Chain A
Amino acid sequence: MQDIRLGAFEEMVLLSIAALLDQAYSVSIRDEIRKVSDRNVKLGMVHSVLNRLEKKGLITSHLAEATKKRGGRRKRYFQITHSGKVALLQTRNQREQLWNTIPDFVFKGLSYDRL
């Protein structure tokens, strides 16, 4: 098994790409992350992470048709690769194992909605 460690932000980006299916490009990814986190995510951060992920081979990209909105420039769409999926699953697996070891009484009386 390959062992690729994902950073927290990398994981979020990767998840967003997976969630957005074939609509994942930098701006939409940024918006997606903004939706779920209250961090003011900057385009530059997303870009550099995308660049890193692509280098690691976790995502691939291709240029799509030109759109008027962007001054006639094409969008670069991202897709998650097989190893990307593996990496996500691995991370999730690790997390869940850890979650499972936590006894229930630790979080007793807390629920996310009421935080």
Chain B
Amino acid sequence: MTDFNSPPRWATRLLKWYCRSEIFEDLAGDLEECYHENWELYGKKANLIYVIDVFKFIRFYTVKNPKMGSIIHSLRLLSNYSKTSVRNIFRNPLFSSINIFGLAICMSIGLLVIAFLFELSNFDGFHEDKENIYRVISTYQSPRNGTLELATSSVLLGQKMEEQTPGIKSLVILNRTLSGDVKKGNNAVPIRGLYASKSFFDVLSFPLIQGNPKTALQQPNTIVITTTLAKKLFDDEPLGQIVEFNDDKHFEVTGIVEDPPMNSHIKFEALVSLQTLENEAQNEENPRLYRWSSMWDSYVYLKKEVNTSEDQIYSSMQQIADIENKTLQTYTIEVGLQKLSEILPGKNLSNQIGPAFQTSQLYFIIGLTLIILISACFNYTNLSLARSIRRAKEIGVRKVLGAKKGQIFGQFIIEAITIALISLSFSLIFFYLIKPYFLSLDESMSELVKLNTNWNLLPYFLLFAILIGLLAGFMPSILMSRLQTLLVLKDTGKVKLFKQFNFRKTLIVLQFAICIVLIISTIGLYRQYQHAVLFDLGYQTEYVVNVDLQGNDPEILSDAFATLPAVKEVSNSQMIMSTGDVISTRAKYNDPLDSARVEFNAVDEHYLPLHNIELAAGKNFGARDYLKEIPSVIVNAPFLQRFNIGSPNEAIDEIILLDGQKMQIIGVLENLHHSTIFSPIHAFALVHDPTAAKYLNLKIDPTQSMTLMSNLNDVWKKIDPVHTLNAEYFDDRIKSTYEEYAVMMKMVGFLACIAILIAAMGLLGITIYHVETKLREIGIRKTFGASENQLVLHFSRGFLILLFISAILATPASYYFLDSFVISQLTYPASKQYIEFSLGLILIFSLGFLIIFWQIRLAAKRNPVEVLKNE
């Protein structure tokens, strides 16, 4: 007989818990006997059998029958507990308000995150058979340019998969290049939409109100429009009518689809059959649409058969990719599958089809919220422990009267939960107050979620409050229930309340450390943001307004704008530099085999003087340079280095090959930051081509900027009544480029404020109670001649040491945070100064000092007679 083995103890305990005492002994014995028998037969499996048996014995005749009396008894106790909780809340208004207020503020953030998570988890939930829907994604891998993960894939891959891959129920190819104006009669509406292949409605469940989902997108030149667009375009029945698109194409309306819902990551105003694009491509030789390398604009979504595994489809895709990758020389395209449910929130991919939210961002938000919540729970724990001396007698009396440990524990837990539930009702108010700020944090946020509260959320909110109550009340409840009755009743004053003072100190230190980390990070983020926005780009962006041409003729518009008195100069360009936009192509110099990726911008001859762009050598473009046989180009120093062209002066008049076109270098740029401060200066070229213009750049007279926008709008409306004017100050555009930092700064800053508020309230509460217990000592010291200052020094020393410890802990932590999350991403970060550290520390310290000194001084000033005469 092996005596070493004994059945799982928890199962036995469970049995004891539910089983009637008169049956328990022999039943447990029987089970154990069987257990040993099974151990001989099956070995470890006996444990499992034992557990199953314990559960199987839950029967009518074994279970303790709860007597009505005991139910009433426990109900009465429960009501008693909640009554005493409420009384206690009122007896200590200061405590309760600190606790409730602190918890309420933090819980409102918790509620916000819960509502946010709830809404995110419902994303794309409306698609039928959604667990079988996948998106094909690709990874661009090049030894020179690194890797880039994309949400897009190629049309070619989609078509090959449709032909070759078994186990696919339906597959749809989407292309995002559909944008322009839809016209019906005199109604013209600018739209953004998707080209979609015919099985769109088989894969994705966007409800088609009119039209046949099987055939709506089959024929070329057919369009499916959303209800909103239909209302804008038509007064009558839209189905079967012909609409004009971009003045040169005609599409037949074959269906009306409901607007994509808020919780769809695919958004569109119209769908045009992919066949339309394919017909256009037929006229080309080696059409770009069907190239393996054209994986920047198309998406492939598929629905697999239920009994096909993801791996089967993946390996088939892999085979296709392996064959096609042989046609590429300098890079490869890897393919992958992404589940519909993992798209949003999902990993960080470029070329998203619609709104996106990264899982890492989600974790960041949840993490910060948890930190704040824990901080508020610390307050509760800390204050309850500090107060426990007061309540020791109550517990002693209850214990004498027969209360068990569990009951005392229950009472304090219920008290904590009561407080948490009261806080919940307050936090709902805060929730509605901060909701609009959360939604306006970032432009994309309001596109992503609405944060409407509904009854479905209520159970989560309640559960959350109860959890918070448990978390906050656990430590005090445990400690209270362990109090020794005799000791408490004999002399309360002598009760060394556990070793909890160390525990409390740890909590205070942690709380302040959190505050310091948050405040230092906020200041650090603010400095980086300011640095990014005010960064010297090597050219002038001040008082420059960029106007999106939206397809209008640049000459007509620039002539019209030039008549305005506020506009001093006008130039045009293909893109706006330094905002993260990139146009790139390949360039060559003397060696025909050596090509490199070069970013460029096409501008007119006014562009350089308007922006005060300086040249290290050479001259500006002439007005007719783009008509020359060998057009002019201006390059930067990294370009010269890449091709070993030599010094700026030597480079003038050299001939290079840009996008297959011979060009002559006429100038070399001086230190122009053409991209953001996230990336270094690459090889870059300015090309003279006024016909490629997409933007007008207006130099503004700063004295007349007040009425500028409305004037611009008036001019615009005369020329283009369809589109709305899209004009923006260059500096504002740069600011929105670094919006990410502003958002992060606002968020961390807001949380820092809350954390500080909570820590300050906690410190205030603790100090008040500390002082109150020391009143007699202060009185006696005073009568023996201690001065007020000596008293303040003596009693605040302990707290000040705590603050110092938290500073020592927090400084490296915040340094690490700033370094790894912010500074490492920037190629040109703000120089490391320690101003953020010192500023953050000074702020927290002065706040802490203020609270401690205030309270202790208050006590030290009291007349000792008042304190001591009652003894």
Interface residues, chain A, CB within 8 Å of chain B? 25-27, 42-44, 47-48, 51, 63, 67-71, 73-76
Contact = CB atoms under 8 A, between A and B. Distances in A.
Question: Which 5 residue pairs spanning A and B have beta carbons closest together?
Answer: A73-B29, A76-B26, A70-B29, A71-B32, A51-B61
Contacts of B57: 44, 47
22 contacts: A27-B30, A27-B33, A42-B56, A43-B34, A44-B56, A47-B27, A67-B29, A68-B3, A69-B1, A69-B36, A70-B29, A70-B30, A70-B33, A71-B6, A71-B32, A73-B29, A73-B32, A74-B25, A75-B29, A75-B30, A76-B25, A76-B26
A45 to B, nearest CB: 10
Given A44-B56, A44-B57, A48-B59, A73 B34 contact: no
A70 B614 CA distance: 94
A64 B32 CA distance: 16
Given A26-B26, A73-B26, A76-B26, A48 B61 contact: yes
Interface in B243-276: none
B26 A75 contact: yes
B349 interface: no
A67 B29 CA distance: 9
B53 A43 contact: yes
B30 A26 contact: yes
A63 B29 CA distance: 11
B26 A43 contact: no
A73 B53 contact: no
B57 to A, nearest CB: 6
A73 B35 CA distance: 14
Q: Which of A27, A42, A73 has the most CB of B within 10 A?
A: A73
Contacts, number: 50
A44 B60 CA distance: 12
Contacts of B30: 25-27, 43, 47, 70, 75
Contacts of B59: 44, 48
Contacts of A68: 3
B31 interface: yes
Contacts of B56: 42, 44
A11 to B, nearest CB: 20
B353 interface: no
A89 to B, nearest CB: 27
Contacts of B3: 68
Contacts of B36: 69
Given A42-B56, A48-B61, A71-B32, 10 more contacts: A25-B26, A26-B26, A47-B57, A63-B25, A63-B26, A68-B3, A71-B6, A73-B25, A74-B26, A76-B25
Q: Chain B contact residues (Cβ within 8 angstroms of A): what range?
A: 10 to 19
Contacts of A43: 30-31, 34, 53
B791 interface: no
B615 interface: no
A44 B26 contact: no
B27 A69 contact: no
Interface in B24-75: 25-34, 36, 53, 56-57, 59, 61
Contacts of B28: 71, 73
A76 B29 CA distance: 9
A34 to B, nearest CB: 12
Interface in B1-16: 1, 3, 6
A28 B59 CA distance: 22
Nearest to B37: A27
Contacts of A76: 25-26
Contacts of A44: 53, 56-57, 59
Contacts of A73: 25-26, 28-29, 32
A25 B57 CA distance: 17
A42 B1 CA distance: 23
B33 A69 contact: yes
Contacts of A51: 61
Contacts of B31: 43
A26 to B, nearest CB: 5
A106 B128 CA distance: 65
Nearest to A31: B37
Nearest to A64: B26
A25 B29 CA distance: 11
Nearest to B57: A44
Contacts of B53: 43-44
Nearest to B31: A43
B34 A74 contact: no
Nearest to A44: B56
Nearest to B24: A73
Interface string B406-437: 00000000000000000000000000000000
Contacts of B29: 67, 70-71, 73-75
Contact of A27 (B6, B25, B34): B34
Nearest to A61: B26
B51 to A, nearest CB: 14
Most buried by A among B3, B6, B34: B34
Most buried by A among B1, B26, B53, B56: B26
A68 B26 CA distance: 13
B720 to A, nearest CB: 83
A59 to B, nearest CB: 14
Q: Which of B3, B29, B53, B57 is packed against the most chain A CB atoms within 10 Å? A: B29
Nearest to A70: B29
B60 to A, nearest CB: 9
A109 B53 CA distance: 45
Contacts of A69: 1, 33, 36
A28 B3 CA distance: 21
A7 to B, nearest CB: 16
B13 to A, nearest CB: 13
Nearest to B35: A71
Nearest to B56: A44
A42 B59 CA distance: 14
Nearest to B3: A68
A74 B53 CA distance: 19
A86 B150 CA distance: 85
B501 to A, nearest CB: 44
A2 B57 CA distance: 32
A67 to B, nearest CB: 8
A35 B6 CA distance: 27
A83 to B, nearest CB: 20
A17 to B, nearest CB: 15
Q: Which of A43, A51, A68 has the most chain B CB atoms closer than 10 A to its own CB?
A: A43
Contacts of A25: 26, 30
A43 B30 CA distance: 8
Nearest to A51: B61
Nearest to A69: B33
A58 to B, nearest CB: 16
B45 to A, nearest CB: 16
B27 A70 contact: no
A37 to B, nearest CB: 18
Residue of A43, A51, A70 with highest tally of chain B CB at under 10 A:
A70
Contacts of A70: 29-30, 32-33
B50 to A, nearest CB: 11
Interface in B301-343: none
Nearest to A67: B29
A44 B34 CA distance: 12
Contacts of B61: 48, 51
Contacts of B1: 69
Nearest to A42: B56
A57 to B, nearest CB: 16
A28 B485 CA distance: 50
A48 to B, nearest CB: 6
B34 to A, nearest CB: 6
Contacts of A27: 30, 33-34
A63 B27 CA distance: 11
A51 B61 CA distance: 8
